[in-house]
């Protein structure tokens, strides 16, 4: 409830700043969704890099764009990847 | 060879038809040969905004279906030399025309006119696809509100998928009083978010409503600020380097716009 009032209080952000921040977040998601290929491309690249160091379960891999809450009502976008590891490769250990 | 420019927005009611009518009239007043195509089949409005609704005999669908010749469907605006309207059909739907037919129509018109302006319907469906099919350039209209800017961004993506990679932005219905209070996104905010170049800024102006009541575009009114903004946009389309009328300079935009209001009052 407290937060609710804070949201509308005058001395807080100007409404145009709120509009701008909200838009930026909305557009990150809209733009990512324009092409379903987008996340697949990222996924492919991540697999390529990580595979140098560990063996991963590609089928069980999940990657998505999401909002995460930060301190006091601030949200930001985050790329969340869940990558099950089968085993580490040797190079990783030697270094 | 003429140039085909589609005026689009995604969101409805942000000023596509008003902009098409005003830019078209301004271009004709500059001595250009101009045809306005109302691509909003089923919800035609451009004829009314232009005050030409009583002169319609044939329409866009009649032309593509071969019911009449293209020339028979073009309504000549007797007030402005060189200005023509190709009205939309009112009793048909968007599927009555396909993108290929629109492309052919645009190619034909390019032989005879300097500018072909297409008033796009709202949305991203068939009507949008038809309207952009024959376009060489696109103008994206937005008002400074979250939902409109969001839709504009989506449209910019869809235009780019069709090879229209450098659309230009018109911000419509800007209210300086609200910008000053921090209650409306300003031009810099909007360009910054959308990442495309600015073609012009049109203030919210009650003269637009008066002019649509009369069926006379606001560009013919010397005292209308919106009319002035549209005249400048037309000049920029012609390649003239009109100093973004105090109204539109990206840099210190607000100060300059306020300056303009002040000098208006003095006169
Ligand atoms: N700069 C302006 N100042 C004041 N009123 C405006 C301005 N621009 C447009 N309007 C008004 O906004 C309304 C919608 O404008 P218009 O019909 O041009 O929008 P549109 O994008 O073509 O709508 P649609 O999506 O339904 O085709 C009209 O009543 C018009 O008079
Ligand atoms: Mg319209």
The full DSSP string for A30-64 is HHHHH-THHHHHHHHHHHHHHTTTEEE-STT-EEE
| pLDDT score, position B250 | 38
Rounded to a whole number of angstroms, the distance from the CA of A43 to the nearest CA of chain B is 22
| Cα dihedral sign, B117-B120-B125-B126 | negative
Q: What count of Cα atoms within 13 Å lies in the side-chain half-sphere of residue B120?
A: 31
Question: For residue B180, what are its two tokens?
Answer: 């000053």
ipTM value, please give it: 0.79
Q: Any CB–CB contact under 8 A between A23 and chain B?
A: yes
Alpha-carbon distance of B251 to B249, in angstroms, equals 5
DSSP secondary structure string, chain B?
A: --EEEEEE-SSTTSSHHHHHHHHHHHHHHTT--EEEEE--TTS--HHHHTT-GGG-SS-HHHHHTTSS-HHHHPEE-TTSTTEEEEPPPSSS-GGGS-HHHHHHHHHHHHTT-SEEEEEPPSSSSHHHHHHHHT-SEEEEEE-SSHHHHHHHHHHHHHHHHTT----EEEEEEE-HHHHHHT-S--HHHHHHHH-SEEEEEEE--HHHHHHHHHT--GGG-TT-HHHHHHHHHHHHHTT-----TTTT-STTHHHHHHHHHHHHHH-
User: Looking at the partner chain, which of A14, A23, A34 has a beta carbon nearest the beta carbon of B193?
Assistant: A23
CB contact under 8 A, B193 and A22: no
Cα A77 to ligand 1 centroid, rounded to whole Å? 34
In this structure, of A48-52, A90-94, B109-113, B213-217, the range with the lowest mean pLDDT score is: A90-94
The helix (run of H) or strand (run of E) holding residue A74 is none
- CB-based contact B21:B217 (threshold 8 Å): yes
Question: For tokens 């595979």, what's the residue?
Answer: A51
Domains of chain B: 3-203 (3.40.50.300)
Q: Any CB–CB contact under 8 A between B180 and chain A?
A: no
- Say whether pLDDT at A6 is over 70: no
Radius of gyration of chain B (CA): 18
Better pLDDT: A81 or B227: B227
Share of chain B above pLDDT 70, in %: 91
Q: Which atom of ligand 1 is nearest to the CA of B209?
A: 31
CB contact under 8 A, A26 and B146: yes
Q: Which of B120, B117, B67, B73 is nearest to B94 (CA)?
A: B120
Report the 10 Å Cβ neighbour count for B40: 27
pLDDT digits 0-9 by tens, A23-79: 988 898 888 765 567 788 888 999 999 999 999 998 898 888 777 777 766 677 788
The helix (run of H) or strand (run of E) holding residue A71 is none
- Probe target for ligand 1 pocket from B10, B11, B12, B17, with the most ligand atoms within 8 Å of CB: B17
- Probe target for ligand 1 pocket from B6, B14, B15, with the most ligand atoms within 8 Å of CB: B15
CB contact under 8 A, A15 and B183: yes
Q: Which of B176, B227, B194 is nearest to B19 (CA)?
A: B227
Task: Indicate which of A8, A16, A17, A28 best probes the interface with B, i.e. most B CBs within 10 Å of its own CB.
Answer: A16
Q: Any CB–CB contact under 8 A between B176 and chain A?
A: no
Question: For residue B33, what are its two tokens?
Answer: 């040969």
pLDDT digits 0-9 by tens, B161-211: 999 999 999 999 999 999 999 999 999 999 999 999 999 999 999 999 999
- Say whether pLDDT at B249 is over 80: no
Alpha-carbon distance of B137 to B117, in angstroms, equals 10
Q: Which of B44, B85, B49, B77 is nearest to B209 (CA)?
A: B49
CA B68 centroid distance within chain: 27
CB B202 less than 6 A from any atom of ligand 1: yes
CB contact under 8 A, A16 and B146: no
């Amino acid at each position: 409830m407290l937060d609710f009032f804070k949201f509308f209080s005058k001395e807080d952000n100007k409404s145009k700043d709120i509009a701008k921040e909200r838009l930026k977040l909305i557009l990150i998601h809209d733009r990512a969704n324009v092409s379903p290929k987008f996340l697949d491309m990222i996924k492919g690249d991540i697999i390529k890099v990580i595979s140098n160091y560990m063996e991963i379960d590609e089928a069980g891999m999940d990657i998505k764009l999401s909002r995460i809450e930060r301190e006091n009502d601030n949200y930001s976008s985050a790329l969340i990847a869940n990558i099950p590891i089968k085993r580490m490769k040797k190079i990783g250990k030697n270094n | 060879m003429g140039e085909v420019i589609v005026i689009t927005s995604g969101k409805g009611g942000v000023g596509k038809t008003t902009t098409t009518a005003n830019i078209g009239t301004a271009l004709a007043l500059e001595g250009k040969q101009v045809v306005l195509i109302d691509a909003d089949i089923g919800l035609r409005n451009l004829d009314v905004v232009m005050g030409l609704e009583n002169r319609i005999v044939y329409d866009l669908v009649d032309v593509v279906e071969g019911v009449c010749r293209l020339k028979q469907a073009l309504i000549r605006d007797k007030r402005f030399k060189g200005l023509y309207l190709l009205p939309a059909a009112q009793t048909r739907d968007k599927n009555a025309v396909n993108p290929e037919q629109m492309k052919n129509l645009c190619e034909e018109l390019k032989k005879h006119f300097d500018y072909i302006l297409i008033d796009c319907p709202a949305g991203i469906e068939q009507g949008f696809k038809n309207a952009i099919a024959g376009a060489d350039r696109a103008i994206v209209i937005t008002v400074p509100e979250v939902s409109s800017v969001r839709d504009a961004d989506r449209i910019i993506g869809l235009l780019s998928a069709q090879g229209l990679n450098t659309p230009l932005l018109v911000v419509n219905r800007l209210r300086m009083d609200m910008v000053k209070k921090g209650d409306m996104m300003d031009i810099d905010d909007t360009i910054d978010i959308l990442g495309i170049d600015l073609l012009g800024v049109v203030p919210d102006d009650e003269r637009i409503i008066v002019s649509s009541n009369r069926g006379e575009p606001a560009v013919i009114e010397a005292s209308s600020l919106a009319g002035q903004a549209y005249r400048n946009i037309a000049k920029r389309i012609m390649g003239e380097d009109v100093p973004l009328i105090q109204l539109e300079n990206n840099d210190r935009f607000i100060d300059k716009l306020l300056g303009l209001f002040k000098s208006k009052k003095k006169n």
